[in-house]
């Protein structure tokens, strides 16, 4: 799994959630990732506390946390740095 595609998908998810909470199915439709790669990007954002997941009416929703809302406006600046750290943390 390459760092660059992960950075692109994380950026897409982050940008989609700027407008407010989304159902998991809607979020999948707005990104180019699918399957386990989408789940991997979501787990990355959940691990760092940038997004949170909750269940409402038996549907999974995702939204930005307060921390995620207050990050710098250009996500490429922090995404690349954090992915490099995370890559080392998971042992790759």
Give the pLDDT score at 41.
87
The residue written with tokens 């940038």 in the block is 50
- State the DSSP H helix or E strand holding residue 64, giving kind and residue range, or none if neither: strand 59-64
pLDDT in tens, 19-78: 899 999 999 998 887 788 889 889 988 988 999 999 999 999 999 999 888 877 666 666
CATH topology of domain 3-72: Arc Repressor Mutant, subunit A (1.10.10)
Return the higher-pLDDT residue of 34 and 89: 34
For residues 69 and 54, give the distance between their C-alpha atoms in angstroms, rounded to a whole number.
17
Q: Quick one: pLDDT band at residue 2, thresholds 50, 70, 90?
A: low
pTM: 0.77
Give the pLDDT score at 84.
63
Of the candidates 53, 49, 33, the residue with the CA atom closest to the CA atom of residue 41: 33
> Would you say 82 and 89 are in contact if contact means Cβ atoms under 8 Å apart?
no
């Amino acid at each position: 799994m390459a760092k660059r595609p992960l950075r692109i998908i994380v950026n897409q998810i982050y940008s989609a959630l700027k407008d407010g909470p989304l159902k998991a199915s809607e979020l999948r439709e707005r990104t180019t990732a699918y399957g386990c790669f989408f789940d991997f990007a979501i787990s990355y954002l959940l691990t760092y506390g940038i997004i949170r997941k909750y269940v409402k009416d038996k549907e999974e929703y995702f939204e930005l946390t307060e921390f995620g809302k207050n990050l710098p406006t250009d996500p490429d600046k922090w995404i690349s740095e954090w992915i490099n750290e995370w890559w080392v943390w998971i042992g790759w």
